[in-house]
Every structure is written in structure tokens, then in C-alpha cells.
Amino acid sequence: MPRKYFIKTYGCQMNEADSVRLAGVLESAGYQNIGGSGYQSADIVLVNTCCVRRHAEDVALQYVASLKGLKKKNPEMIIGVCGCVAAEPGVDILKRFQHVDLVLGPNEAEKLREFLKPLTPFSPSPLVRGKGKYKGEGGEFVTIMRGCDNFCSYCIVPYVRGREVSRPIDEVLEEVGRKIEQGAKRMTLLGQSINSYKYGLANLMRAMGPAAERRGSQSEEPRHSVSGSELVQFLTSHPRDMSDEIIEAVAELPYVAKEFMLPLQSGDDEILQKMNRGYNLDHYRGRIKKIRELMPHARISTDILVGFPGETEEQFQNTLKAIEEIKFNEVHMFAYSSRPGTPAAQLLDQLPEKVIKDRLQQLISHVHRLVA
């Protein structure tokens, strides 16, 4: 009987993509995906965690704690904690949870291979990213770069995911080609700050022309020039690095979705500066203007973070005004959560929990009013 695995994934698309990678390693070692309903009889359970906000971390670690009983019943079961919490400074998973056997940071899929080697023979083919039968929940992802060098003052990602590393264009094209052969119709290129891709995001998108042609000839569905027929979209862009060149490439290339994920975070210049975001509201407006000049129907979504330390009522109102002015298609809204080790966590003017929660509620109502 083949051995079975189960992967529980929390957090962003980057984590989804990492889970596909972990699944690829497990499948090349002969393990089969048992899926959520059968996880109690899995031979290995991996929990892929997120720590961008305290709540996300707590939820993931509660799940890890809940596996204790299973391990007691079946001491042979391997339990692994992966992803961002596993790399968080000051969090000692093995010490905290005696029933955990394995801890893997976000870039350590290869370590899983090493761990499994004494237990199981591997298929001779080298690790193929995302080739496994495991399907992520959010669709097809292609990670083109890992890590982040931006060090926004509130964000823990650069500490747990490390410095930016871009995959060469050829390697990305190979993966895209393979996914098309396997029937993928659309995929999302991923990077924490994707428009600083070292080899040029516009170059990469242009180099995808032949792959898009191949996809076109393999597709059974008639292709119309409407949204949904494009081959790729990309996440997440940093407003500071959103160059004209990238915007023009998106506008020009028919196989690139006219969709932008451009986190504003705050509509107040002083807060943006304290966040170390590297742009002001005017710069952001300019990027939106350029996008809409070339693509009037582009879909623009954003992230907003309220309750940053020291944020005044007036500064919060500036964020609400900016949202009203810019007219996003979608707004993801977050309450500031202090993350140990980040510069913002050291600031003395942390706002009371109640003020932060109230602002999030006001923001949610504001956005609903605008969208309704």
C-alpha cells in the first residue's frame, strides 16, 4: 500500500505554491495525497504556516497542537511544520510541540527530501516543481522569485523568507511550458515584490509569447479577446517599482491579464514614510493614471493596513479619502498586527487594540459603501 500524505496550507498564494512543491517531493518519494477528509490516517501530515499577522500564526499553531492526539494514537505518523512560522526567529517549534518531527522553513523543500531519504526510495527523476498530482487550492502558480528585500517596517516576511532570489527566465519558461502541456489554461506568476524581478518582468512577459501561442493551439475552447482568455497574471507589485515599461508590456501583450495587485497600504504620506514604503500618494496616483490611460478597464486591487503605530484619526481619514478617489476594483483590508522583530514593533506609540479594530470596521463599511 502506498504511503499517504496530507498538507494543510495557511496564508498567501506563495504558501500555496510552496505546498505544491512539497507535494512534488512527497510524490517523487511514492507518497499519495490523501486529501483533507482522510488526514487522520495519513503517514505524513505537513502544516504550511503563515505569520504575517499574529492571528494567522495562532490559527496555524492551534492546528499543529490539535494533531497531538493523532500522533499519540499513531506514533508512526510524521508531523511536519513548514513555512513562515517555522522560520520565525524566537519560535522553537520542536521545543513547543513534542509531537512534531520535522520543521521546514519556506525555502526548505529540499530538506524534506533529505528527511525522507532513509525512509523511502525516491523515483530517479530529480525534483520537478509542482509536477505532483497535488493541486493547490488557488489555481496554477509559478514562483518566479522568492524572498523580499523591501523591509516595510511592519512586515515580517523579509525575516522569514529571506533575501530576494529571482529564477532565470529560461527556468521559468520551462515550467510554464510544462504546465501548458499538462493542460493549464491560465497561471499566476508569483513574487513578493514581483516587479523587481532581477531579469526584468517585462522581458519575462514578452518571452512568454511562444508559450502563449502553444497554449492557444492546444486549447479546445474558442478564444475570445475577453478577460479569462489570457495566459498569465502576476502578483504582487510594489508601487515604487511599477515602471512604465511593465505597464506598457501588460497593455501590449494579449496573453497578459489586465490585472494589477498594487498594495497602497496607507493614503497618508507620513505613514507611508514610517512604513518604509518608498513612495508617496502622488507617486501612487501617477501609476494608476498610467495604467488607466493605457488600459481603461484594467482591474486594480490593493491592500490597506490600518492602525499602524502613531496613525492619527486624520491620517486614517486620508486613507479613506484615497480609497474613494482611486476607485479600486477590490480592497483587501487588514488591522495592524505587531510582529516581534520588525522595526514597527519597537515604536512606542502602538495604538490600543480597540482603536485598530474600530478603524478596520470603519474601513470595511467605507469600502462596502463605495462598492455597493
Q: Which residues bind ligand 5AD (CB under 6 A)?
A: 52-53, 154-155, 263, 265, 303, 305, 334, 336-337, 339
Q: Least Å distance between CB 234 and ligand SF4? A: 14
Nearer to ligand 5AD, 328 or 336 (CB): 336
Q: Is 204 exposed, middle or buried (0-12, 13-18, 19+ CB in 10 A)?
A: buried
Closest approach, Cβ 277 to ligand 5AD, in A, equals: 10
Shortest Cβ distance from residue 241 to ligand SF4 (Å)? 10
Instruction: Name the one residue in this structure whose C-alpha cell is 506598457.
Output: 248
Binding mask 176-215 for ligand SF4 (x = CB under 6 A): ----------------xx----------------------
List own/partner pairs for 293-296 with CB under 8 A and 24 or more apart: 294/247, 294/248, 294/251, 295/250, 295/251, 295/258
Per-position x/- string for 308-347, each x denoting binding to ligand SF4 as judged by CB under 6 A, each - no binding: ----------------------------------------
Closest to 108 in 3D by CA, of 123, 93, 125, 124: 93
| Dist CA 330 CA 304 (whole Å) | 11
Identify the residue among 146, 238, 359, 366 touching ligand SF4 (CB under 6 A): 238
9: exposed, middle or buried (Cβ count in 10 Å: 0-12, 13-18, 19+): buried
Q: What, of ligand 5AD, ligand SF4, none, does residue 158 touch, CB below 5 to 8 Å by kind? A: ligand SF4
For 301-315, b/e burial (b = at least 16 CB within 10 A) is bbebbbbbbebeeeb
| Residue 346 C-beta: closest distance to ligand SF4, Å | 16
Query: Minimal distance in Å, beta carbon 166 to ligand 5AD?
Result: 20
Contact partner at residue 49 from ligand SF4, ligand 5AD, none, CB < 5 to 8 Å by partner kind? none
State CA 173 to chain mean position distance.
Answer: 20
Restricted to residues 120-159, the positions that interact with ligand SF4 (CB under 6 A) are: 148, 150-152, 155, 157-158
- Please report how close the Cβ of residue 279 comes to ligand SF4 at its closest, in angstroms: 11
| Residues binding ligand SF4 (CB under 6 A) | 148, 150-152, 155, 157-158, 192-193, 238
